[in-house]
Structure 1
Amino acid sequence: MVHDGKDLEDLVELPAAFVSFKTRCASALAAQSQQHANPLLWTTEQAPEPREVLWNNLAIPHCLLLLQKIGVFVAATVLTIFFAIPVTAVQGIAKFEKLKWFPPAMAVQLIPGLSSIITGYLPRESFTHPKDFPSRLASAVSSQADFFITYILTDGLSGFALEILQPGLIIWHAIRALFRGRTKQPYLYALPYYRVIPFVSLSILIGMEYAVIAPLLLPVLIVYFFLGYVVYINQIQDAYEIVYETGGQFWPYIHHYIFISIILMQITMIGLFGLKSKPAASIATVPLLLLTLLYNQYCNIRFLPSFFVLPIQNAVENDERDEKDGLMEVNCETAIHSYRSPCSRPMNFSQESYFTQPLVSST
């Protein structure tokens, strides 16, 4: 504990603390082992990157954090349930042909081309029984190829252009500079994974679904992913402030989405072969679906743990390399200074030296 000359009696004990180790092996063993007979009394985990630390949240008890997680889960569930209300309204619009007597629907008919846009951009499907899911899914997917081709083209041409221009952030930066003056802080920060990954996952799902049903969509998707690659390589290198690497922490999610897309594609093929009166082909696709599920389980057992824990073997090898290069003490001091609270840093402490440089050099 760093108290900078204060009396120990004046310090407030917090329910969380950072512990620095001289070796990666010791850190990995401490983070991955149970420290107390009661696991709720003393829990250990790998520390986040220094820029992600919210120092005010260290005072929150662990039990309260658990209640907050439960609250977020409940709120997300309630939001999902009540989202059925706008979905029902959209489905009503999709059934436009049956609602022409309704005054808003009659008003839509007065605008040239609007009714065709509404009915063409809002796909619809219904399920009367769970056993009809493959056939209904195959029928609905086959009939909506034009919609998804239009969606990919629209999202690719407009989304990537807006990503490069960043009009919203430019306007916000201009307003902030007008009222608060210009600052040297950038207004583009880390890559918005929360916004990019869902769109990429949806495109993967669309591509998997239509790879066999509507191959005409595949060239459009190839152009879409090529443009996305060019745009985000430029944004990562020249626009966003990439301070540290995530170590591939998002890859398990992408892997999960890819397998969901493959499974949905195979279920769709089972239903499509059934609609084409090809029972032999439909039955032959079932073992392929089972093999996909088994391979997904194998990948989760074989590769998924490596994304959450550091193998002791790799930690020892890295420690031996740092000791050979004479970087052991330097890395330890860097980690200690990086996880000092703002109130305990000396006045001449350089924020840039510890917050814009990685904790461990890759060279």
Structure 2
Amino acid sequence: MNLAALLTSAGINIAVCVILFSLYSVLRKQPCNVNVYFGRTVSITKRRSDPFCLERFVPSASWLVKAWRTREDDLLAVGGLDSVVFIRMVIFSLRIFSIAAVICVFIVLPVNYHGQTTNHPGIPEESLEVFTILNVQEGSKWLWTHCLALYIITASACILLYFEYKHITRLRLAYITGSSLSPSHFTLVVRAIPWSPEESYSDSVRKFFTKYHASSYLSHQMVYRVGKVQKLMSNAGRMCKILRDVSVEQTHTPDLFHCGMCGGATDSLKILATDSESVKGKSSLIDNSLGGRKKVCAAAFVFFKTRYAAVVTSKVLQSSNPMHWVTDMAPEPNDVYWSNLWIPYGQLWIRKIATLLATIAFMLVFLIPVTFVQGMTALKSLEKKFPALRGLLKKKFMSQVITGYLPSVVLILAFYVVPPVMMLFSTVEGWISRSQRKKSACFKVLYFTIWNVFFVNVFTGSVISQLSVFSSVKDIPGQLANAVPAQAKFFMTYVLSSGWASLACELMQIYPLLCNYIRRFILLKEGYNDTLSFPYHTEIPRVLLFGFIGFTCSILVPLILPFLLVYFVLAYFIYRNQILNVYIAEYESGGQFWPMIHNTVIISLLMMQIIALGVFGLRRTPIASGFTIPLLIFTLLFNEYCRQQFKPVFKNHVAEILIDMDQKDEQSGRMEEAYQQLHSAYCQAPITPDDSCSSGGSTRHEGDIVPDPENAKPPGEEPSQINPSWNVTFDGAESRKI
């Protein structure tokens, strides 16, 4: 592949990005697309339609200015700590690759280009290998520039990484102290409760914690398996919220004509009353189903009097049998993944092994499209396998598009299957919080993409075709040193296609936009109104993958760095815009993604140094190879220092902070306020009595129904029927009786 083919691919992607950016700047101004491009704002307050004006149809860059001026505190208030961690990852990448681009493009790239004494035919006709380290002669003294660049990039990355880790650790501590009345601080999840034929699960929990944690135990709440009934109740709650919003917007209009469109007095209170009657009937059905179907599970939320007591209890082994009375700190109420709380604790280790095997099998199956993509990058291979394409491939422009642009597009389309599959695997694993499930899926997608996009492409494209297999482990750095520069053309086109184009598609929100138009203009219904949470499990792996490619290719293929730099600049503006306007922070992990990001950067640095070690060995510069080994040791020591200095804050709770918070709340009298929120916070559905409440010594609140503990039976036995008349509290509405 020559430079002209790379420029062809770059031109196609630039054209796609310019078109999509222009469309976005126009479509975002249209009132019918408000729910698509301002979903977060609409969910908070109703956005009024702007009057018709020609300015709505003129592309503008106002969204870029707003994204640039937004402060980190504003992002923290809008998207939570996880969104700030994500943006800090992008900022770190932008800084380190700006340094790498300056060093490698202006120093290393000229050395690579003039490494051989042969005459150059001209820049457009040059092969990309001329710009790689493979063009430098063996034993050349100019290889010291690569060693110097390696030291500068490593030192800069470690310094920037240290300050980012320190800053995010400070933000996490502020996040813990800022959520002073969070119910999760006082709550444990207890699973694997032993079944006793003589007493209910609720009695067992009360008896156990009253006996062994009498001084700190407050009350508890059982978890019930309500199945499909819970979804019906959630839908009913959503419908009632919509009816309430409609009642606020409706106004009394005069009787103009006697027709349904514009005549007749419309009283919003009458509409709400009529619709409430239908909700009343559905609620009765739901209640009847609930009484007949719900079953208590061997899991419960246990509430404690202080935060410190809850943390200490969660860290202690509760029973001599480790498979009984398993305790963990409870997730935030909005973060609970209720379905997995019903999974028996003894199944979890089996599920994790099964998902690990399934992930490995999926990675092996995915070798098929990756190998196919590598076959597309070789023009001679395509002519042999598809003789009918010989005439088409002889055309210069078509051969450049097919070998330079299509392979990365095919791989991108194949990768759309990966995040949903990994999310399914993470769900099957049994995580009890949505943030843990998304973090697990993020981890799987990250290493899946690094393996398939980087290693498998390198091996299938170069090593297997040229050297078949590694002769020994010590040859791996040398093989990678030859293979990675040889695959430079694929990595560059992948950054263009999967990087630039994917950001443009993320900005456009193509799927919600199509759904919105189909619902409005074909189905004649209300527009797209689904709330979206930030897809960390797809976007974090993508950004880290490009960082991995950037580190490993920086001194080998410096030409890739300007393309990566453009990607991170676009990512900075686009992701900030999406966090401000589109995505809703329904829950968060409190910055738990950062340790994974830090570890991936360290792995990228080590891989860069190992490949450089192989390069210097192949180019017969043993002194440069010797200077690379201390760099490996320094990187490992730096990682260990960060692990000891910062990582414990992300794994454990700080006793000093929790005790201070407990003392302040007790002195100010806010502790009783925290106690009153506990039972209502961990409800299994928005419209439900607190049928999962089975408290020991707790206070009942309006809207709560506490079932008799005697009726809480082990699985397989039916609980008693609950009175079908419920006191229900809607979101933002006063309590009423259905």
TM-score range, shorter chain: 0.7 to 0.9
Is 1:278 equivalent to 2:621 in the alignment?
yes
**1:128 alignment counterpart:** 470
Please point out which of 520, 537, 540 is paired with 1:197: 540
Which is greater in Rg?
2
Shift of residue 161 of structure 1?
Answer: 1.7
8 A Cα contact 1:108 1:114, kept in partner: no
Shift of residue 33 of structure 1?
Answer: 1.6
Within 5 Å, give how 1:173-184 maps onto structure 2: 173-175=516-518, 181-182=525-526
Superposed CA offset, 1:96-146 (max 9, x none): 4256333x2542552434444454466622053233221221223233444
**2:208 alignment counterpart:** none
8 A Cα contact 1:24 1:315, kept in partner: yes
8 A Cα contact 1:22 1:329, kept in partner: no
Is 1:253 equivalent to 2:596 in the alignment?
yes
The amino acid that maps onto 1:78 is: A
8 A Cα contact 1:2 1:344, kept in partner: no
State the alpha-carbon separation in 2 of the partners of residues 39 and 300 from structure 1. 28
The amino acid that maps onto 1:182 is: E
**2:730 alignment counterpart:** 350
8 A Cα contact 2:333 2:681, kept in partner: yes
**1:356 alignment counterpart:** none
Within 5 Å, give how 1:68-217 maps onto structure 2: 68-98=351-381, 100-102=383-385, 104-107=386-389, 109-111=391-393, 112=395, 113-120=397-404, 124-126=461-463, 127-129=469-471, 130-175=473-518, 181-182=525-526, 186-217=529-560
Within 5 Å, give how 1:259-274 maps onto structure 2: 259-274=602-617
Paired residue secondary structure (1:48):
coil
State the alpha-carbon separation in 1 of the partners of residues 489 and 384 from structure 2. 28
Distance 1:245 1:53, change over 3 A: closer
Distance 1:226 1:334, change over 3 A: farther
8 A Cα contact 2:404 2:490, kept in partner: yes
The answer to which of 122-131 and 173-182 deviates more is 173-182
State the alpha-carbon separation in 1 of the partners of residues 485 and 339 from structure 2. 53
Distance 1:145 1:310, change over 3 A: same
8 A Cα contact 2:304 2:310, kept in partner: yes
The amino acid that maps onto 2:317 is: Q
| Larger relative strand fraction | 2
**1:336 alignment counterpart:** 679
Structure 1 regions of 5+ residues with no counterpart?
A: 4-9, 354-363
State the alpha-carbon separation in 1 of the partners of residues 562 and 649 from structure 2. 35
The answer to which of 253-262 and 109-118 deviates more is 109-118
Distance 1:98 1:221, change over 3 A: closer
Is 1:237 equivalent to 2:580 in the alignment?
yes
State the alpha-carbon separation in 1 of the partners of residues 333 and 390 from structure 2. 55
8 A Cα contact 2:221 2:301, kept in partner: no
Taking only aligned residues, the RMSD between alpha carbons, in angstroms, comes to 2.9
8 A Cα contact 2:315 2:328, kept in partner: yes
**1:7 alignment counterpart:** none
Distance 1:97 1:179, change over 3 A: same
Distance 1:176 1:352, change over 3 A: farther
The answer to which of 163-172 and 60-69 deviates more is 60-69
Paired residue secondary structure (1:18):
strand
TM-score (norm 1): 0.83
State the alpha-carbon separation in 2 of the partners of residues 244 and 325 from structure 1. 28
Q: Which has the higher contact order (CA 8 A, sep 6+)?
A: 2
Shift of residue 29 of structure 1?
Answer: 1.0
Paired residue secondary structure (1:30):
helix
Is 1:308 equivalent to 2:651 in the alignment?
yes
Is 1:65 equivalent to 2:360 in the alignment?
no
State the alpha-carbon separation in 1 of the partners of residues 383 and 508 from structure 2. 41
Shift of residue 247 of structure 1?
Answer: 1.0
Shift of residue 38 of structure 1?
Answer: 1.2
The amino acid that maps onto 1:125 is: S
Distance 1:120 1:2, change over 3 A: closer
8 A Cα contact 1:135 1:268, kept in partner: yes
8 A Cα contact 1:135 1:275, kept in partner: yes
TM-score (norm 2): 0.43
Structure 2 regions of 5+ residues with no counterpart?
A: 1-219, 223-292, 408-456, 464-468, 691-702, 704-726, 734-738
State the alpha-carbon separation in 2 of the partners of residues 179 and 57 from structure 1. 36
Please point out which of 323, 328, 331 is paired with 1:40: 323
State the alpha-carbon separation in 2 of the partners of residues 182 and 19 from structure 1. 42
